[in-house]
Structure 1
């Protein structure tokens, strides 16, 4: 009898584990499980349950880096690193740079690698010009024209986007349907999230054609519209080095491993809890802080403002969690009169 009871308990346990393993990442049960497993952050619904999961996986557009070419590395001195505050939000230090508040939307395109780059570039032109220059770098130009970066909407390498900025230059361009700049983003935002006014997301779209001319209403020629980097570089690994770079020069681009629980993030300090690996994603880190004893990076995503905490999220800091501190890339703008 005892043996039968033991077998029954083991069978029940096996069925429970199997049921958990089969939870769909967009199900209410998956969200509930994440919230029961930890109290650092809160999970919730960001994506409709009927959205094709291939779309979500396609948003993770950083290609595995098999090219180990040399890239300059920036190292900050001990004095600067020792003087950094416990919390830092660049929007307080540089209030005349509104792009620090902006959350863009990559649409149905695996262009995160380009978005993380042009977002940080946009911030840095403003920061390094003391708030006097506002140049909105075009994600469209990078995604469609940087052939060495990868495969456009089907993935790319962040460091190659920064090298493209230095060697070829990038024109201006606003968000979809903005008519802003030389090459605005042409990919329609879709309803990544809960039901709303945008069309529903489906498969990842084809990469837009590279057009080396500005839209008719822009009064600058394509080549003359370009802005360049003075130099681009990686940040020496370690949270103090990254913090020093953020504090001195502004936001950076980071790549990291994404697991299924991240797509449910609402607020708090994210730490991977449960779920399958989905791919590599690129984002813009803007600052850092501490919340309820947990150290975090303050991060801007590119999935519109109705994902996460108005498009931003906090990510566990100081442990190279999901390799987020391993490959930080950025650069210094070559300022010109705009």
Structure 2
């Protein structure tokens, strides 16, 4: 949403949507820190709007992120992740009185889903920016370090939502370029490549995006 707001404004507007506001106030659209249904988050953005907010300890925007980062499935500069934390309460107010919560909200005009269509996904990425995708995570994925990921071994551990950025070819393997949410110690500085064009691990089942209302 943040990327698309900038892209649709031709780079003239920089509004950082608050992940905290979405997680805390999504209500029936999600399950807080336990996850939720990805498309419902986009619907929430269209119906209710989301305020601004930066990263943890950033003091940026209306509602910066409140939960400290941790090291997902890796050893690095961040402490290891523990149990899922309690979802912070939904507050219809900003960290500072200088920002009005309701006036700060930005909404989407619409949202959509692209079902298993590689070329349409590529066209949307090229023209309008990143998309959200989900895929089945297997045990071998958590140990990814680089190259084009292709499921090899291990049982399924769940489904995961990530940001699809682009595509390419490496060693004759077509791939999608994806940003993960497990921080920069994991994978290829927080990114990974996954096999493209075969709906590998269901990653092309439904690419989600939307059109922001620029204000």
Shorter-chain TM-score: what band?
over 0.9
Decide which of 71, 75, 92 is 1:194's aligned counterpart: 75
Find the residue that maps to 2:113 and give its secondary structure: strand
Find the counterpart in structure 2 of residue 231 from structure 1. Answer: 110
Which of residues 36, 54, 62 is equivalent to 1:174? 54
Match among 31, 53, 65 for residue 185 of structure 1: 65
Report what 1:309 is aligned to. 188
TM-score by length of 2: 0.97
SS at match of 2:146: strand
- Summarize deviations over 1:35-83 as a string: whole Å, max 9, x none: xxxxxxxxxxxxxxxxxxxxxxxxxxxxxxxxxxxxxxxxxxxxxxxxx
> What is the Cα deviation at residue 237 of structure 1?
2.3
Measure, in 1, the Cα distance between the counterparts of 2:155 and 2:3: 33
The 1:131–1:195 alpha-carbon spacing in structure 2 relative to 1, beyond 3 Å, is closer
- Which residue does 2:14 correspond to in 1? 134
- Higher mean alpha-carbon deviation, 224-233 vs 149-158, is at 149-158
SS in 2 for 1:325: coil
Query: Residue 31 of structure 2 corresponds to which residue in structure 1?
Result: 151
CA deviation map 1:292-337 (0-9, x unaligned): 100000100011111111111101000000110011111011000x
CA distance in 2, matches of 1:279, 1:286: 22
- Higher strand content, 1 or 2: 2
The question of 1:241 aligning with 2:120 is answered: yes
2:98 to 215, 219, 226: 219
Does 1:283 find its partner at 2:199?
no
The Cα of 1:195 is off from its aligned counterpart by 4.5
- Give the Cα–Cα distance (whole angstroms) in 1 for the partners of residues 41 and 190 of structure 2: 22
Determine which structure has the larger helix proportion and give its number. 1
| 8 Å CA contact retained: 2:71, 2:183 | no
Q: Which residue, out of 130, 133, 141, partners 1:262?
A: 141
User: Where does the alignment leave 5 or more consecutive residues of structure 2 unmatched?
Assistant: none
Q: Secondary structure at the match of 1:287?
A: strand
The reply to whether residue 328 of structure 1 matches residue 207 of structure 2 is yes
1:112-150 deviation digits (Å, cap 9, x = unpaired): xxxxxxxxx010011111111111111100101011222
Deviating above 4 A after TM superposition, structure 1's stretches of 4 or more consecutive aligned residues are none
* Structure 2 counterpart SS, 1:266: coil
2:178 aligned counterpart, secondary structure = strand
Q: Deviations over 1:278-297 (max 9, x none)?
A: 00000000100001100000
1:221-254 CA distances to partner (integer Å, 9 max, x unpaired)? 0000000001111114210010011011110000
Unmatched runs of 5 consecutive residues or more in structure 1: 1-120
1:201 deviation in Å?
1.7
Question: What's the counterpart of residue 251 of structure 1?
Answer: 130
State whether residues 71 and 186 of structure 2, in contact with CA within 8 Å, keep that contact through their aligned partners in structure 1: no
- SS of equivalent to 2:164: strand
User: How many corresponding residue pairs?
Assistant: 214
